[in-house]
Amino acid sequence: MPKAFSEQEKQIIRQQLLDKGKQLFERHGIKKTSIDEIVDAVGLSKGAFYFFYESKEDLLLAILEQLETDFRARIFNFSISSQSNARPLLSKLLKDALLTWDEYPLLKNLGNADYEYLARKLPPDRIRAHIHRDDEFVSDFITRIKHEGISVSASPRVVSNLMKSLFFVSLHRNELGSDTYVETMTVLADLIAGYILEGT
């Protein structure tokens, strides 16, 4: 049983685990990164690790969610000035969001097999909580668009699935070909923007 940590110590250690874990996952990938390496990098006992996270997969998902929080904050930093230019601006927003995603090495380097691995290793309730988090983001995203005075015709569930589809396609960038990847995603983003917005 690890020693009792103060609230300040818990906050510092948790952030260290997130930071060092991110570096190691970026360098070695999820399967080749061990808990031993993570705790050695932080200077923590292995027993103490489990006080904070149930597994290395749980830590990785927490890291991904932290990155997604930053990523999503950047997405919300936009303005659609009128209904007349809503489609091109929303299309650009979706495309730029995907390209911004590439600025995060960990997010860019994770492939479909890694996400499938996470889904197998994590408890179902943890996966459900993550999905709920995604759905909340889409709901907030739609609310933000509506606050700009833009009508949204698609249901939140469909919008969520369409945005996820862009992400899933991005996991296959190598198969799409690096020379046509950006053009392909630009076309898809425009089609999805047109479906989301009423009358376009």
Query: Do 191 and 129 belong together in one domain?
Result: yes
Query: Residues 96, 142: one domain?
Result: yes
- DSSP-assigned states of every residue in 26-91: HHH-TTT--HHHHHHHHT--HHHHHHH-SSHHHHHHHHHHHHHHHHHHHHTS-----GGGHHHHHH
pLDDT, position 1 = 44
* Mean pLDDT, residues 72-80 taken together: 66
Q: SS3 for 187?
A: helix
Tell me the residue range of the domain where 49 lies: 1-53
Report residue 117's pLDDT band, with 50, 70 and 90 as the boundaries: very high
- Asked if residue 178 and residue 164 are part of one domain, the reply reads yes
In this structure, the answer to whether residues 32 and 96 fall within a common structural domain is no
Overall average pLDDT of the 113-137 stretch? 90
pLDDT band at 155 (very low <50, low <70, confident <90, very high): confident
Are 185 and 170 in contact by the 8 Å Cβ rule? The answer is yes
78 shares a domain with 19: no
Among residues 9, 30, 53, the one where a domain terminates is: 53
Say whether both 20 and 30 belong to one domain: yes
Please check whether residue 22 is in contact with residue 106, taking contact to mean a CB–CB distance below 8 angstroms: yes
CATH of the domain at 68: 1.10.357
Tens of pLDDT, residue by residue over 9-34, are 999 999 999 999 999 999 999 999 99
Query: Considering the entire predicted model, what is its pTM?
Result: 0.80
Q: Say yes or no to pLDDT of 122 above 90.
A: yes
- Domain identity same for 78 and 175: yes
Q: Looking at residue 40, which CATH number applies to its domain?
A: 1.10.10.60
**47 lies in the same domain as 64:** no
What is the predicted pLDDT for the residue at 80?
Answer: 52
Are residues 63 and 149 part of one domain? yes
Asked if 196 contacts 89 with a C-beta cutoff of 8 angstroms, the reply is no
- Res 54 pLDDT > 90: yes
Res 4 pLDDT > 70: yes
Domain count, the chain: 2
Same-domain check for residues 148 and 60: yes
Closest CA to 59 of 34, 88, 76, 81: 34
Residue 110 phi, psi (nearest 5):
-70, 130
Q: Are 65 and 159 in a shared domain?
A: yes
Mean pLDDT on 154-164: 85
pLDDT at 87 over 90: no
pLDDT (0 to 100) of residue 103 = 78
